[in-house]
Amino acid sequence: MSLVTDKSGIYYDPTAPSDLENLISQGPALRLDQQVRIERLIARIISSQISKYNLSGTPIDLPDGHKILVPGQVEDDASILKGCDDIRTNLGLLKRVRADNPNSIIIYKPHPDVVAGLRLGAIDDDIITQYADITASTANISDLLSKVDAVHKMTSLTGFEALLRKIPVTTYGTPFYAGWGLTTDHGAQSTRRGLHRDLNTFAHRALIDYPRYFDPITKTACPIEVALQRVEDNRLPPPGPLNRLLAKLQGVFASATPFWR
């Protein structure tokens, strides 16, 4: 339902400029109507429990204490191949988060495609338990975000979803939302970033200004609010095998960037 065309690069590759970076760093201040629009949009995303995958899940009860959500990723994802250095595996991430937070309750949520056996990044259960207190494979991500105190991740989009909910986020890679003063960053950061941006401005650039949206009902371009309505109404066509093939090809093309850029 959304698509980006980027003349400068692509948002998940921090090694080169992108149109999103330029929008964030060079765009004008938001007008009052834009402030109102993005605030309403963020509130709607949160109240409707919209997330990247919108998968149903089991509500989970979490113990008292400082709780850190660690979302797993597909390890050959383009954002990891281009945006991670020292830590680029789920196990490496878990080890680092546990080492830095020995007294916290760590909740590890594996990526849905990894759980399904479709993509790279699985960790044996007996190894996970050495570093995580809880494995939340079937939990709803929106429910988890409403119950944790922080999110630690490599480049996962869950970090952006956490920012929208004003949850502290620590990054160990360089996702598109790192380096703008919104996150605590341990990964290498681009010298092109560094300007601090408020959440509303950043979210407007990332959700409204940068992508284009497609209405699967009318088969025409639409604003994000219409796309969101389709998700809320569950009026989406089922994803076909082409979707997963394109996701895999994205990683292949990302690893070959030096040869074609």
Span 101-119, pLDDT tens digits: 999 999 999 999 999 999 9
Domain end call among 166, 185, 204 = 185
Q: What is the number of domains present in the chain?
A: 2
Is position 60 within any domain? Answer: no
Beta strand pairing call for 184-185 and 169-171: parallel
192 phi and psi angles, rounded to 5 deg? -75, -20
**Same domain assignment for residues 30 and 79:** no
pTM listed for this prediction: 0.89
Q: What's the mean pLDDT in 119-146? A: 96
Domain end call among 156, 185, 214 = 185
CATH number (domain holding residue 130)? 3.40.50
Please determine, for residue 57, whether its predicted confidence score (pLDDT) is greater than 80.
no
Those residues with Cβ within 8 angstroms of residue 195's Cβ, 6 or more apart along the chain or in another chain: 24, 25, 180, 181
Please determine, for residue 97, whether its predicted confidence score (pLDDT) is greater than 80.
yes
Q: Whole domain around residue 241: which residue ranges? A: 2-51+196-260
pLDDT, tens digit, 9 for 90 and up, residues 211-230: 999 999 999 999 999 999 99
Domain end call among 133, 161, 185 = 185
